Amino acid sequence: MSRNVPPRVIALTGGIASGKTAVSDRFAALGVPVVDTDLLARDVVAPGTPGLDDVVEAFGAELLDETGALDRRALRERIFGDADARRRLESLLHPRIVQAARRAIERAGSDPRVRYVVLVVPLLVETGLFEDADRVLVVDVPEALQLERLTVRDGLSTDQARAALSAQASREKRLAIADDVIENTGSLEALDEQVDRLDRTYRALEK
């Protein structure tokens, strides 16, 4: 039996190394459908897709690896520091990602037991996509902790880590659009408690 009212969409975002995946995994463990635009971004340029064909046409076949798949490192290097190239890439991929996300939300919402869907959009502020989401949930950590995690987790130098942060929207801009905030600075138990509390809140909301 399908539902007449679509599920509430919670757009989850946060800066690099803030812990978005840890949060979305916890929602998923509670039975909440999670739609991750980072994963969809890979799907729309998988080998054999029109998306990959368009990227190759726009930027050249040198962006393909020996298997015919998109070389993401080469693509990042191609658009790094080139605003026009980045906008061109976004114009090719963003409509496909949005369409795929909306289809996934619709599929999840066909189950009448689903009260809400978590839509993970790391660059929500930067792209302006999904402005029609019902609520925005920001995973927040201080910049110093982001830098620490990037240098330890990804092996980046401090300068590289700072460059990665500066390429994204500021913490203040993300918090300015937040309806809800998870502070991911404590223990995993504290994170579980925050997710549990928000899950109860979201399930209680009426569409």
Q: Average pLDDT for residues 123-142, to the nearest whole number?
A: 95
Assess whether pLDDT exceeds 80 at residue 171.
yes
In the structure, what pLDDT confidence band is assigned to residue 67 with cuts at 50, 70 and 90?
A: very high
**What's the angle, vertex CA 40, arms to CA 177 and CA 201, rounded to 5?**
40
Confidence bin at 8 (pLDDT 50/70/90): very high
- pTM above threshold 0.85: yes
pLDDT category, 36, cuts 50, 70, 90?
Answer: very high
Work out the number of other CB atoms within 10 angstroms of the CB of residue 133: 21
Strand partners, 13: 138
